[in-house]
């Protein structure tokens, strides 16, 4: 995939994630940063970073429980490690860090 196509795809997915997090009902401070980065801060002070990694053609998630890499595959973003889907993993990671259930669904 061309770099520009990947960047557009990743930026669109990060924007969808930002919208879903804003609408999830849990107090999460979301701060978009330059270069395709979302910084999330939870009420307990813990942080999570989501960013596009253009060289690897992946979206990376740095959470309290570890780092995760997702690549586009057949219209979804899947974990390079175990095939887990980005949205499900992100909901689980945010729930863990928020200390309450976080339900995320891609905006229609």
Tens of pLDDT, residue by residue over 49-105, are 999 999 999 999 999 999 999 999 999 999 989 999 999 999 999 999 999 999 998
Per the CB < 8 A criterion, the answer to whether 50 and 35 are in contact is: no
- Superfamily of structural domain 3-98: Frataxin/CyaY (3.30.920.10)
Model confidence at 21, in pLDDT bands (50, 70, 90)?
very high
pLDDT at 64 (0 to 100): 95
**3-class DSSP assignment, residue 40:** strand
pLDDT at 107 (0 to 100): 74
pLDDT at 38 (0 to 100): 97
> In this predicted model, what pLDDT tens digit does every residue of 35-54 receive, in sequence order?
999 999 999 999 999 999 99
What span, in angstroms and rounded, lies between the C-alpha atoms of 77 and 29? 23
pLDDT at 106 (0 to 100): 80
3-class SS shares of the chain: helix, strand, coil, % to 5: 30, 35, 35
Structure tokens of 21? 């997090």
């Amino acid at each position: 995939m061309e770099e520009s196509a990947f960047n557009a795809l990743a930026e669109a997915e990060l924007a969808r994630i930002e919208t879903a997090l804003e609408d999830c009902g849990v107090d999460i401070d979301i701060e978009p940063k330059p270069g395709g980065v979302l910084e999330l801060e939870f009420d307990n002070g813990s942080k999570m970073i989501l960013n596009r990694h253009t060289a690897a053609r992946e979206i990376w998630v740095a959470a309290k429980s570890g780092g995760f890499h997702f690549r586009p595959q057949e219209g979804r973003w899947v974990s390079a490690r175990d095939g887990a889907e980005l949205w499900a993993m992100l909901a689980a990671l945010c729930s863990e860090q928020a200390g309450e259930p976080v339900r995320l669904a891609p905006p229609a």
